[in-house]
Amino acid sequence: MDFFLEVLIGGLLAGVMYSMVAIGFVLIFKASGVFNFAQGSMVLFAALTFVSLLERGFAFWSAFAATLASMLVLAWAIERGVLRHLVNRPPITLFMATLGVSFIIEGLAQLLWGAQVHGLELGIKDEPLEFGGVLLSSFDLFAAGTAAALVLALSLLFSRTRIGLSLRAVADDPLAALSVGIRLQRIWGVVWAVAGFVSLVAGLLWGARLGVQFSLSLVVLKALPVLIIGGFSSIGGAIVGGLIVGASEKLAEVYVGPLIGDGLENWFPYVLALLFLLVRPAGLFGERAIERV
């Protein structure tokens, strides 16, 4: 039983890491209907910039601040330079644009910082802690705590500030928002900046876990099943989706893996996502239109 709990909780905590990438997607999708494939490259770019600055002698917090600034500039440039010119275009056009952007960002990152693998040390020891007989990774606990703080900050932003309320209005009905004088472009700029910040946090945690390398941008593919399960337009959905993916892939790996072979962990989330697509296409928390009868 303890072993089961250990696998379950370990999976849940790992799932939080997926959620963090998924949240970046949700923010942009909600506010502008863009499925931002470049989210993964933004995560990579953030981690790579941060680690390269550290290696060049920056202190932790100044590297963090400089990376944050560069993420904001990057996000702003994508919104300003590409997406703003594609307003009103069909979703597939926007998607292709972000696909293009993601390769440009990766190329840019390689140009700036080179292609070698870096280790990233955040100063959090990854040693097992024991809670009532259950062993948990302290790094996973730290990541989960960071994600919780991030989500709390975001929900305060959305519920307590004018910019957050405007953002929800734009997500609900952009034309109506425009009609009462909200500047859509300012809102999109803010959303991209926040998504840039989220990818910085995700990039540091993922970078510390896997090492900073180009395959880091593939976390975008792990975020997909999370989004399909949780729904594309709900931050709560991104959290729950992440937890489900994290827990189920670990449980499947441990309990079903021995029966059908290794590597189940890598494709099991997609099976789950497909099942969701068939049964509940809007995801668990997909925003359904309010319909009065």
Amino acid found at 188:
W
Site for other proteins in 202-231 (CB under 8 A): none
Question: What distance in Å separates the CA atoms of residue 262 and residue 9, rounded to the nearest whole number?
Answer: 21
Question: Does 116 contact other proteins by CB under 8 A?
Answer: no
Question: What distance in Å separates the CA atoms of residue 133 and residue 215, rounded to the nearest whole number?
Answer: 35
Per CB under 8 A, the list member of 178, 256, 274, 275 interacting with other proteins is: 178
Report, in Å, the least distance between residue 293 CB and other proteins. Answer: 11
Contact (Cβ atoms closer than 8 angstroms) between residue 79 and residue 184: no
Helices H / strands E in the chain, number of each: 12, 2
Contact (Cβ atoms closer than 8 angstroms) between residue 251 and residue 204: no
Site for other proteins in 49-88 (CB under 8 A): 88
Per CB under 8 A, the list member of 15, 40, 174, 196 interacting with other proteins is: 174
Per CB under 8 A, the list member of 14, 143, 150, 177 interacting with other proteins is: 177
Question: What distance in Å separates the CA atoms of residue 186 and residue 163, rounded to the nearest whole number?
Answer: 10
Question: Does 180 contact other proteins by CB under 8 A?
Answer: yes
Per-position x/- string for 134-173, each x denoting binding to other proteins as judged by CB under 8 A, each - no binding: ----------------------------x--xx-xx-xxx
Report, in Å, the least distance between residue 196 CB and other proteins. Answer: 24
H/E element, 214: none
Question: What distance in Å separates the CA atoms of residue 61 and residue 69, rounded to the nearest whole number?
Answer: 12
Question: Residue 279 or residue 289: which is nearer to other proteins going by CB?
Answer: 289
Question: Does 32 contact other proteins by CB under 8 A?
Answer: no
Question: Residue 259 or residue 289: which is nearer to other proteins going by CB?
Answer: 289
Report, in Å, the least distance between residue 158 CB and other proteins. Answer: 11
Per CB under 8 A, the list member of 125, 183, 255, 280 interacting with other proteins is: 183
Question: Residue 75 or residue 167: which is nearer to other proteins going by CB?
Answer: 167
Contact (Cβ atoms closer than 8 angstroms) between residue 248 and residue 240: no
Question: Does 282 contact other proteins by CB under 8 A?
Answer: no
Question: What distance in Å separates the CA atoms of residue 182 and residue 176, rounded to the nearest whole number?
Answer: 9
Q: Which residues contact 21 (CB under 8 A, 6 or more apart)?
A: 39, 40, 43, 199, 202, 206, 219, 220, 222, 223, 226
Task: Record the tokens describing residue 133, joined without a space.
Answer: 């007989």
Per CB under 8 A, the list member of 7, 211, 213, 287 interacting with other proteins is: 287
3-state secondary structure of 65: helix
Question: Residue 111 or residue 175: which is nearer to other proteins going by CB?
Answer: 175
Question: Does 92 contact other proteins by CB under 8 A?
Answer: no
3-state secondary structure of 83: helix
Which chain residues interact with other proteins by CB under 8 A?
A: 88, 162, 165-166, 168-169, 171-183, 287, 289-290, 292
